Amino acid sequence: MPRTLSRSFIRLKMSQSSSDQSYADNIAAELQRIDSLPKLVNAINNVFRDFPSVCLKEGQRKRDCEDPNWPQRKEALFGVLDKTRLNALELCKYGLFDKRIPYTRNLLVKQCEDYELLMLCWNCGMESKVHSHPCDGCFVKVLKGEIKETKYAPQPDKDGNLVLTTEAIAREGDVAYMDDYVGLHKIGNPSPSVGAVTLHLYTPPYQTCKVS
C-alpha cells in the first residue's frame, strides 16, 4: 500500500523548497550586483547601446520625451542603478568631502553625447538650492546615508512663489528620477551627524540649469 505523507511533512517540504529558492535568488542577486565604477560604466554603456538615443539629424539630439527608445532606456537605467552597490574602496576613492562647502560634485564619467555620472558628497544638514534639469532628466542613487528631496510644481503661483508639491526621504539603496516635466526640486542631507553620498546620472550631460 502506498504510504501517505502527513500534511505537516508536506508543509515542511514546501517551506524548505521556498527557503532554498529564496537563498538561490539572493545568491543570483549578489552575483549581479554592480560594486565598482568600471562595472557600472559598462552596464550604462550597454543600455545606451541596446536603446540608443534617436536624433533628429546628425549632431542634434532629440529630447528623450520624444524618443521612442526612452521608455525602455529609462527602465533599464533604473535597473542598473538599483543593482549598484559601490564598495567601500570606490566610495573612498571618489567620494571627496569638503567641509568648507555644503556639498562636492565629483565627476566620474562624461560621455559627451549620452550621459554624465557624478558622485555628490553632502555635509551634515546641507542642501542644494531649488533648481531645474534642462537636460532630459537626472537619476539619483543614494549610496550612503539618506537624502531629503523637496519637489515644487513646474510653474510658480500667480504671485511668482514656488508651489511645494511633495517632500520625501530617500534612504541608502533608493533610486529616484527628476526632470522639468515633473517640476523643480532641491535635495539635501537631513542628518545632523552623518554625511551622505549620492550618485547622479544626467542624460544627456547638462551645461546650465535654472536656480531659484
> pLDDT tens digit string along 115-132?
999 999 999 999 999 987
- Residues 14-67: tens digit of each pLDDT: 555 555 556 455 544 545 789 999 999 999 999 999 999 876 444 444 455 578
Q: Give the per-residue pLDDT at 181.
A: 79
Query: Which of 22, 42, 23 is closest to 34 using CA atoms?
Result: 42
Q: Report which secondary-structure segment, H or E, holds 94.
A: helix 88-94
**Termini Cα distance of the chain:** 82
Judge contact between 141 and 75, C-beta under 8 A.
Answer: no
Checking if the pLDDT of 96 tops 50, the result is yes
- Residues 56-95: tens digit of each pLDDT: 444 444 455 578 888 999 999 999 999 999 998 889 999 9
Checking if the pLDDT of 183 tops 60, the result is yes
Judge contact between 132 and 180, C-beta under 8 A.
Answer: yes
Question: Please, is 91 exposed, middle or buried when counting C-beta atoms within 10 Å of its C-beta (0-12, 13-18, 19+)?
Answer: middle
Q: Report which secondary-structure segment, H or E, holds 165.
A: strand 164-171
Q: Give the per-residue pLDDT at 110.
A: 84
Q: What's the mean pLDDT in 196-208?
A: 83
**Whole-structure pTM value:** 0.78
User: Please, which pLDDT band fits residue 136 given cuts at 50, 70 and 90?
Assistant: low
Interhelix angle 70-82/37-50, rounded to 10 degrees, is 160
d(CA 71, CA 205): 19
Q: What's the mean pLDDT in 126-149?
A: 87
Checking if the pLDDT of 6 tops 60, the result is no
Checking if the pLDDT of 208 tops 80, the result is no
Q: Give the per-residue pLDDT at 141.
A: 97
Domains and CATH numbers, the chain: 32-202 (2.60.120.10)
